[in-house]
């Protein structure tokens, strides 16, 4: 459990580091052809049922684009005793895109989950944290100016070491 938490923390720091690196580059030289920041809502996808995400582009050369994303989602806000005790899911990862307005996207990352289950010993609520993997291959529509972002992707999940077919659709605002 401690190892898992440490691993999750290191991964989280890695993604935040990538996003921060994107910010630093932005300060040094801004030659971007697309807005660097995006907030978007993903239905299904890497967050499971859905997630709210922030992404930051840290490389933008010609038609290639690379960035990192981090988000938060949930399954239940109350646990099975009906008390406020939300399940939390943090999808995070890196992505590569190629194209003009309509881009092909390839992505991968992890989702750190903190979900409340009945404890097998006494059936009382007990929170359990886990790390899972995900990948994504899809398309995105993104203009060079601030504005709408649309994504559609096949987003298989690797949960408990098992591959699961999944997909996601996103809508957001790039700025």
Q: Which of 81, 129, 144, 146 binds another protein (CB under 8 A)?
A: 81
Half-sphere exposure of 55 (CA within 13 A, CB side): 32
**Contact positions with another protein (CB under 8 A) in 30-49:** 48-49
Q: Which of 117, 154, 163, 175 binds another protein (CB under 8 A)?
A: 117
Q: Which stretch binds another protein (CB under 8 A): 4-12, 101-109, 122-130, 138-146?
A: 122-130
**Cβ at position 76, least distance to another protein in Å:** 7
SS3 per residue for the chain: CHHHHHHHHHHHHHHHHHHHHHHHHHHHCCCCCCCCEEEEEEEEHHHCCEEEEEEEEEEEECCEEEEEEEEEECCCCECCCCCECCCEEEEEEEEEEEECCEEEEEEEEEEEEEEEEECCCCCCEEEEEEEEEEEEEEEEEECCCCEEEEEEEECCEEECCEEECCEEEEEEEEC
Binding of another protein by 140 (CB under 8 A): no
Binding of another protein by 160 (CB under 8 A): yes
CA distance 109 to 15: 9
Q: Which of 136, 149, 153, 157 binds another protein (CB under 8 A)?
A: 157
Q: Which of 14, 96, 130, 150 binds another protein (CB under 8 A)?
A: 130
Q: Which of 61, 100, 128, 143 binds another protein (CB under 8 A)?
A: 128
Binding of another protein by 53 (CB under 8 A): no
List residues near another protein by CB under 8 A.
Answer: 48-49, 75-76, 80-82, 89, 111, 113, 115, 117-118, 122-123, 128, 130, 132, 157, 159-160, 162, 164, 166
């Amino acid at each position: 459990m401690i190892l898992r938490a440490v691993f999750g923390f290191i991964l989280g720091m890695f993604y935040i580091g990538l996003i921060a690196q994107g910010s630093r580059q932005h300060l040094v030289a801004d030659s971007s052809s697309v807005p660097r920041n995006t907030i978007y809502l993903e239905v299904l996808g890497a967050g499971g049922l859905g997630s709210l995400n922030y992404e930051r582009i840290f490389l933008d050369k010609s038609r290639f684009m690379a960035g990192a994303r981090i988000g938060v989602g949930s399954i239940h806000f109350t646990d099975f005793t009906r008390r406020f005790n939300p399940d939390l899911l943090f999808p995070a990862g890196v992505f590569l895109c190629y194209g003009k307005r309509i881009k092909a996207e390839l992505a991968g990352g992890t989702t750190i989950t903190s979900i409340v289950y009945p404890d097998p010993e006494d059936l009382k609520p007990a929170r359990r944290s886990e790390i899972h993997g995900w990948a994504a291959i899809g398309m995105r529509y993104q203009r060079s100016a601030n504005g709408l972002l649309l994504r559609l992707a096949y987003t298989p999940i690797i949960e408990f070491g098992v591959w699961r077919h999944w997909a996601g659709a996103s809508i957001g605002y790039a700025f």
